[in-house]
Amino acid sequence: MADRDLRDRWHAIADRFSDPRLTIAGREIRVLGREKTILLAVVIQLFVAAFAGFLVVGLVSLYDPGSVEGYQIDAAVTGDATNEMLAAIEDRPAIDGTRYETTSEAYADFQDGAVNTVFQTTRSDGRIEVVMTAPDGSIETTLVVSEGQEALRALERNLRAERAGSLANPPLPLPPDTGGNPYYDFTYTILLPLLVFLPVFISGSITVDSLTAESEQGTLELLRVAPVTMVDIVDGKSAAMIAIAPIQAVAWLGLLSLNGVAVANVAPLAVLVAAVTAIVVALGVAVSLLAPDRRSSQLLFSVGVLLFFGGATLLPGGPANTAARLAIDSTTPLTWLSVLVYVVVGVGAIAAVRRLAEQINPNDL
């Protein structure tokens, strides 16, 4: 009897000092462990981050086929402007041009596989016309066309430079070629923002599903039987979803580092992800409270997220651009201002949906 009284007193004290919002947040996180769709998404992200070094090589080949090393293209050049075309090809180390006296000989070698492409040149009214022939329907076609386009651009630049003296006004100088590494560009401008912000989308989508499911299944009323308010429910669910996104992002950044991808400013990146997640989760909460139907909520949420990220991408301080600058440690005052703005907007968005939750009648959901 004494033990039971002691146990009851202990539970009474624990209930008095426990925060119901933390209880709800813990419940949400435990539920995620049983969601196969969420676990599959996490496994996919884990695979991409863990094998980034291998995947980047293949993905960059699609992103920039000309970046593939170790592949030499043999090109047959024939026609009236062979010299100019060969001079342009010299600027492309991946192409080896060979002069052919006749077009028939060039195409005969192309059919036999002795050359990979044919550049047939013709002079007409002071212009040079080039017809490029490439193999059909293979990965070789992509590589040949990509390098061939660069060779034709080089030819155009050479002709512009040669004929600049005949113009009344000199042409504007071209910006210097900064070169750049396609692997570096792809990793930091596409792969890293994808891994960092994909958990943001998942958190927002889970928030919509969680609230609408509670409403449709009637468990929202069961939650309210406990000494919690609608604001407590929203706070608990939002806190769980906002917390897991930066944790995932930091884990993916750690795996990228193990693959040799240097990532700077990890802590500010985590803050940026948390702030953007707060904005997206707040959008999900607002949509769920105003349109409790799951299909309608998911549709409105998806459109809202697309508008948010699409509009932000047009700005110099967009989420992807800010994340890339932080990761390569090429920050500017605008970068830090962008992070601060996202934090302020995120806090404001959460405050706004808490205010909305206070005004919502749960019986109407």
Average pLDDT estimate for 128-150:
81
Residue 336's pLDDT band (cuts 50, 70, 90): very high
Of the two residues 218 and 98, the one the predictor is more confident about is: 98
Q: Which two tokens stand for residue 149?
A: 């386009």
Beta-sheet pairing, 73-79 with 117-124: parallel
Separation CA 72–CA 137 (nearest Å): 18
Query: Rg for the chain (alpha carbons), in Å?
Result: 30
Q: Rounded mean pLDDT of 126-150?
A: 81
Query: What does the pLDDT read at residue 16?
Result: 47
Q: Whole-angstrom Cα distance, residue 205 to residue 281? A: 8
The CA dihedral of 98, 100, 105, 106, to the nearest 10 degrees, is: 50
pLDDT in tens, 278-321: 999 999 888 888 876 778 888 888 898 888 888 888 888 889 88
Our measurement of the distance from residue 144's CA atom to the centroid of its chain's CA atoms, rounded to an integer in Å, reads: 28
CA distance 98 to 223: 78
At 183 the pLDDT is 66
- Cα 292 to Cα 294: distance, rounded to the nearest angstrom: 6
Specify which of 48-62, 134-148, 172-186 reaches the highest per-range mean pLDDT: 134-148
Q: Which tops the pLDDT comparison, 11 or 312?
A: 312
Q: What is the pLDDT of residue 301?
A: 87
Strand partners, 76: 98, 118
Residue 223: per-residue pLDDT: 56
What pLDDT shows up at residue 339?
A: 93
Predicted local confidence at residue 5, as pLDDT:
54
Do 329 and 265 meet the contact criterion of CB atoms below 8 Å apart?
Answer: yes
pLDDT at 294: 76
pLDDT in tens, 82-130: 898 998 888 777 888 899 989 999 999 999 888 989 999 998 887 889 9
DSSP state of 134: -
Q: What is the pLDDT of residue 55?
A: 55
Domains of the chain with CATH codes: 23-59+181-364 (no CATH), 68-166 (3.40.190.10)
pLDDT at 225 over 60: no
- The confidence score (pLDDT) of residue 6 equals 47
Residues near 338 by Cβ (< 8 Å), separated by ≥ 6?
317, 318, 322
pLDDT at 293: 76
- pLDDT score, position 10: 42
Q: pLDDT averaged over the chain?
A: 78
Residue carrying the six token digits 């967009």: 318
Mean pLDDT of 228-243: 82
Find the range with the poorest average confidence among 117-121, 243-247, 253-257, 301-305.
253-257
Assign 218 a pLDDT band (cuts: 50, 70, 90).
low
Q: How far apart are CA 360 and CA 76, in angstroms?
A: 73
Which pLDDT does position 23 carry in this prediction? Answer: 67
Arithmetic mean of pLDDT, 15-31: 63
262 CB-contact burial (10 Å; exposed 0-12 / middle 13-18 / buried 19+): exposed
Calculate the alpha carbon distances from 248 to 48, 56, 200, 255 in Å: 13, 20, 10, 11
Q: Identify the band that residue 11 occupies on the pLDDT scale cut at 50, 70 and 90.
A: very low
Taking residues 123-152, what's their average pLDDT? 82
